[in-house]
């Protein structure tokens, strides 16, 4: 093995993991080396490293001549060379220490690099203030040596009963040229100007439209009494951007909505808050913490299972999407008002806010901060340019796993894919109820059947400490694994339509259940208790999965992975079923109030924006954080509130104006699927589906 890469990798590994005091190190250094200004714990052994480098007569392979020459100069001039001084004083001196980023970047003779160790449930980083002549390619030659050393060293930090096995590969070790990435990110100034200009024009259009509508309010009242007077195209457009009208739409609770379904407003709000809270926690795991050894025990605590298992809230949205699409489309099919233009309506609904998020992520967010961790945000434009079509064609869940851009849109891709295939199935149900239901049940069973061999092959585990790189690709983001809860939503919407009609066997059965709920308070209480307890233990069962992962048979883990999300949704349906069937009122005050209806309309914007807020909040720091739950909790709620503030602005200035333009100029009728300004859906006519 080449001496230079091997010894330097050992030095970097020691710099990360060892704990040697300044006094111990100074006793081991030669006399001329003690003049270095070492004022903090340093764990590098320069004597061994320098003696080996001295013995190498020529530049090793994969190391540039300029980098090698600089290191040789540092060896021969250890006291006077400023680069060597900076290497000791401005580099990180322990696990997840970032060093002095500002001092290193201000020094023309040094270059700030970030060493990142992946493949772990928490971040392992080290800030390196190396010679300016050494670039990313020079450090990359050390990756294999570092990976081998870390596999042995970091295992000592993990709890023995965690079931976690160290398997750091060369691909998990990455060096990032923070300075170069920052410069490249700052060079996208024209994109920032264009993005801010477009957003500014939207805001200006809304303000001007509001003023215009206010000035013409008198003429509008006169036009209302004169049916022959039509609005001009300019006035129609202005009313679409009118902030007063849009704000009123946000606060309006239309009485035409099916009031029993308003309980889903609260479910929607609680679920998106749960998602944001979980993302704040998972993002914190990706940060370099001063005390990473405290994170693993935190993950195994019973009371914290709702954080690292917040992914169940995503299945709530899959269920709601399937439910409302089924409920509305089946009614429209029965009364002959269904139109296949729903796909166009859906795209118009999704694209405006998605475009704002996309360009905000690659242009606006990088301009809002700087620091040793902000390079992760600066690196977004390059990858986004390469895979933008995966985002806007809603096939992000089939992208190359080596790339990523606003990665949380995997949900949007799955949801739209389900949306594309659902209307034909609903049309079939409307024509032949039995055949359509057989198709749905077949897809549901096929999903479970496919998941088992895939989970066994790739050893999928619910334990986040054991999840491998195939977990997201073949399970978490895979449509064949996420469609069951969506199908449950479709079936639930179908049953609710039958309940409203009461003219089919299914409808009569649902009405009997509703009658039982109304007649027996104890039965309602049983459903409430079973629903809450079932949801709680489905989520917190992961605690036992982690605790007994070393002795638990693999089949238990696989069964939990495959069926737990479906079970969670079934318990949630049990919780809200009495309320939906008009027999319960205990959830109405909590979930079906006006505040939930208003906040629920901001869900889409909050979903798109909240991770950008989290990234900015976490990555802009110059020092690694000390992990404490109280600090994390306050940060998380701050992120959530800021996300809702941004979602409110995007709703008024982007989402509603585009929606109003579609209603005003494209739609023949106002009734369509997934109105953004309405919190629930209409249920006016009661169809009778054919056998």
DSSP string, 12-37: HHHHHH----HHHHHHHS-GGGGGS-
Per-residue pLDDT band at 188 (split at 50, 70, 90): low
Q: Quick one: 597 and 460 in the same domain?
A: yes
Q: Are strands 110-117 and 173-177 parallel, antiparallel or unpaired?
A: antiparallel
Q: With contact defined as beta carbons under 8 Å apart, do 163 and 546 qualify?
A: yes
Q: With contact defined as beta carbons under 8 Å apart, do 159 and 297 qualify?
A: yes
- Show the 3-state SS of 429-451: HHHCHHHHHHHHHHHHHHHHHHH
For the ranges 25-34, 250-259, 614-623, the lowest mean pLDDT is seen at 25-34
In a domain? residue 192: no
Per-residue pLDDT band at 222 (split at 50, 70, 90): low
Closest C-alpha among 401, 357, 361 to residue 381: 361
In a domain? residue 373: yes
Per-residue pLDDT band at 158 (split at 50, 70, 90): low
Q: With contact defined as beta carbons under 8 Å apart, do 424 and 330 qualify?
A: no
Residues listed for the chain:
691
Per-residue pLDDT band at 513 (split at 50, 70, 90): confident
Structural domain ending residue among the three candidates 162, 186, 210: 186
Predicted local confidence at residue 352, as pLDDT: 95
Residue with tokens 């970047």: 105
The sign of the dihedral angle between the CA atoms of 296, 301, 276, 576 is positive
Q: Quick one: 519 and 402 in the same domain?
A: yes
Q: What are 126's strand-pairing partners?
A: 115
Who contacts 89 (Cβ-Cβ below 8 Å, separation ≥6)?
A: 36, 37, 38, 39, 100, 103, 129
Per-residue pLDDT band at 685 (split at 50, 70, 90): very low
- Show the 3-state SS of 494-526: HHHHHHHHCCCHHHHHHHHHHHHHHHCHHHHHH
DSSP output for 371-388: SSSTHHHHTHHHHHHHHH
Closest C-alpha among 239, 182, 178 to residue 208: 239
When comparing pLDDT for 536 and 305, which is higher?
536
Inform me whether the pLDDT recorded for 255 exceeds 60: no
Q: Quick one: 275 and 181 in the same domain?
A: no
Closest C-alpha among 567, 421, 584 to residue 488: 567
Separate counts of helices (H) and strands (E) for the chain: 32, 3
Say how many CA atoms lie within 13 Å of 414 toward its Cβ: 27
Range of the domain at 516: 254-665
Predicted local confidence at residue 185, as pLDDT: 60
| CA atoms of 205 and 237, how far apart (whole Å) | 10
Q: Are strands 110-117 and 124-131 parallel, antiparallel or unpaired?
A: antiparallel
Q: Mean of the pLDDT values across residues 675-689? A: 38
In a domain? residue 448: yes
The sign of the dihedral angle between the CA atoms of 249, 254, 256, 260 is positive
Inform me whether the pLDDT recorded for 541 exceeds 60: yes
Closest C-alpha among 462, 174, 488, 439 to residue 315: 488
Q: Mean of the pLDDT values across residues 438-446? A: 95
Q: Mean of the pLDDT values across residues 331-335? A: 89
Q: Quick one: 163 and 311 in the same domain?
A: no
Q: Mean of the pLDDT values across residues 157-171? A: 63
Q: Quick one: 259 and 175 in the same domain?
A: no
Inform me whether the pLDDT recorded for 544 exceeds 70: yes
Who contacts 599 (Cβ-Cβ below 8 Å, separation ≥6)?
A: 269, 644
Per-residue pLDDT band at 555 (split at 50, 70, 90): confident
Q: What is the CA radius of gyration of the chain?
A: 29
Question: How many domains, in total, are found in the chain?
Answer: 2
Q: Mean of the pLDDT values across residues 382-389? A: 85
In a domain? residue 238: no
Inform me whether the pLDDT recorded for 466 exceeds 80: no
Per-residue pLDDT band at 425 (split at 50, 70, 90): very high
Closest C-alpha among 135, 129, 145, 15 to residue 68: 135
Which H or E run includes 264?
helix 263-285
Predicted local confidence at residue 6, as pLDDT: 45
In a domain? residue 386: yes
Q: Quick one: 151 and 56 in the same domain?
A: yes
In a domain? residue 215: no
Q: Mean of the pLDDT values across residues 45-58? A: 41
Q: With contact defined as beta carbons under 8 Å apart, do 568 and 315 qualify?
A: yes
When comparing pLDDT for 680 and 345, which is higher?
345
Buried b / exposed e across 34-57, counting CB within 10 Å, b at 16+? Answer: eebebeebbbbbbeebbeebeebe
Q: Where are the beta strands (DSSP E) in 161-282?
A: 173-177
Q: With contact defined as beta carbons under 8 Å apart, do 145 and 10 qualify?
A: yes
| CA atoms of 177 and 487, how far apart (whole Å) | 46
When comparing pLDDT for 244 and 228, which is higher?
244
CA quadruple 261, 266, 267, 271: dihedral, nearest 10 = 150
Q: With contact defined as beta carbons under 8 Å apart, do 565 and 485 qualify?
A: yes
Q: Quick one: 300 and 444 in the same domain?
A: yes
Q: Quick one: 328 and 450 in the same domain?
A: yes
Structural domain ending residue among the three candidates 161, 186, 211: 186
| CA atoms of 33 and 92, how far apart (whole Å) | 19
Q: Quick one: 262 and 182 in the same domain?
A: no
In a domain? residue 52: yes
DSSP output for 612-626: HHHHHHHHT-SSPBP
Q: Mean of the pLDDT values across residues 71-85? A: 68
Average pLDDT, the chain: 79
Question: How many angstroms separate the Cα of 633 from the Cα of each of 123, 277, 556?
Answer: 19, 8, 32
Structural domain ending residue among the three candidates 186, 210, 245: 186
Q: How many CB atoms lie within 10 A of CB 161?
A: 13
When comparing pLDDT for 397 and 463, which is higher?
397
Per residue in 277-305, pLDDT (tens digit) is 999 988 887 788 887 777 766 667 788 88
| CA atoms of 605 and 278, how far apart (whole Å) | 17
Residue 198: phi and psi, rounded to 5, are -65, -45
In a domain? residue 677: no
Q: Mean of the pLDDT values across residues 430-450? A: 94
When comparing pLDDT for 466 and 453, which is higher?
453
Inform me whether the pLDDT recorded for 481 exceeds 50: yes
Does the predicted TM-score (pTM) go above 0.85? Answer: no
């Amino acid at each position: 093995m080449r001496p230079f890469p091997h010894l330097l990798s050992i030095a970097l590994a020691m710099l990360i993991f060892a704990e040697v005091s300044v006094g111990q190190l100074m006793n081991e250094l030669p006399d001329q080396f003690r003049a270095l200004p070492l004022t903090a714990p340093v764990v590098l052994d320069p004597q061994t490293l320098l003696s080996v480098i001295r013995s190498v007569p020529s530049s090793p392979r994969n190391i540039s001549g300029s980098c090698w020459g600089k290191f040789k100069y540092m060896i021969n001039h250890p006291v006077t060379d400023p680069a060597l001084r900076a290497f000791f004083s401005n580099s990180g001196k322990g696990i997840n220490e970032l060093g002095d980023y500002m001092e290193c970047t201000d020094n023309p003779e040094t270059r700030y690099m970030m060493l990142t160790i992946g493949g772990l449930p928490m971040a392992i980083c080290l800030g390196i203030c190396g010679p300016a002549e050494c670039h990313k390619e020079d450090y990359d030659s050390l990756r294999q040596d570092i990976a081998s050393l870390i596999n042995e060293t970091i295992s000592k930090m993990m709890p023995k009963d965690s079931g976690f096995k160290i398997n750091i590969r060369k691909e998990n070790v990455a060096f990032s040229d923070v300075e170069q990435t920052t410069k490249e990110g700052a060079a996208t100034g024209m994109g920032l100007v264009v993005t801010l200009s477009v957003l500014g024009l939207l805001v200006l259009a809304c303000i001007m439209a509001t003023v215009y509508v206010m000035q013409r309010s008198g003429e509008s009242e006169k036009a209302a009494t004169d049916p022959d007077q039509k609005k001009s195209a300019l006035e129609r457009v202005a009313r679409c951007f009118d902030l007063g009208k849009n704000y009123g739409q946000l606060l309006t609770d239309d009485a035409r909505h099916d009031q029993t379904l308003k309980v889903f407003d609260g479910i929607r709000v609680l679920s998106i808050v749960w998602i944001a809270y979980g993302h704040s926690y998972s993002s914190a795991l990706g940060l370099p913490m001063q005390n990473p050894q405290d994170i693993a025990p935190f993950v195994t605590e019973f009371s914290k299972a709702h954080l690292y298992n917040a992914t169940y809230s995503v299945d709530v949205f899959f269920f709601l999407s399937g439910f409302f699409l089924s409920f509305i489309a089946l009614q429209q099919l029965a009364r002959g008002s269904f139109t296949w233009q729903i796909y166009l309506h859906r795209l118009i609904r999704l694209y405006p806010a998605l475009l704002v998020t996309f360009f905000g992520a690659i242009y606006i967010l990088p301009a809002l901060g700087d620091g040793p961790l902000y390079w992760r945000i600066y690196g977004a434009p390059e990858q986004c340019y390469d895979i933008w079509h995966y985002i806007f064609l809603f096939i992000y869940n089939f992208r190359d796993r080596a790339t990523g851009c606003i990665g949380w849109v995997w949900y949007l891709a799955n949801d739209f894919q389900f949306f594309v295939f659902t209307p034909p199935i609903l049309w079939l149900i409307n024509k032949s109820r039995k055949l359509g239901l057989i198709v749905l049940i077949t897809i549901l069973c096929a999903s479970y059947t496919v998941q088992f061999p895939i989970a066994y092959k790739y050893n999928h585990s619910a334990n986040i400490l054991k999840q491998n790189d195939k977990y997201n690709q073949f399970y978490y983001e895979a449509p064949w694994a996420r469609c069951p809860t969506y199908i449950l939503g479709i079936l639930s919407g179908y049953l609710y339509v039958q309940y409203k009609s009461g003219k089919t066997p299914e409808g009569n059965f649902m009405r009997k259940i509703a009658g039982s709920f109304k007649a027996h308070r104890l039965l309602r209480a049983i459903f409430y208790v079973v629903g809450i307890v079932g949801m709680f233990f489905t989520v917190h069962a992961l605690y036992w999965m982690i605790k007994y992962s070393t002795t638990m048979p693999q089949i238990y883990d696989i069964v939990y992975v495959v069926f737990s999300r479906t079970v969670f949704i079934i318990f949630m349906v049990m919780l809200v079923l009495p309320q939906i069937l008009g027999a319960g009122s205990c959830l109405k005050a909590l979930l079906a109030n006006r505040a939930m209806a208003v906040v629920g309309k901001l869900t889409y914007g909050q979903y798109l924006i909240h991770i950008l807020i989290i990234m900015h909040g976490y990555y802009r720091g110059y020092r690694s954080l000390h992990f404490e739950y109280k600090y994390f909790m306050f940060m998380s709620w701050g992120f959530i509130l800021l996300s809702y503030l941004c979602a409110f602005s995007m709703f008024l200035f982007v989402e509603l104006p585009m929606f109003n333009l579609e209603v005003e100029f494209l739609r023949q009728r106002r009734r369509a699927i997934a109105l953004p300004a309405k919190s629930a859906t209409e249920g006016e006519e009661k169809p009778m589906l054919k056998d």
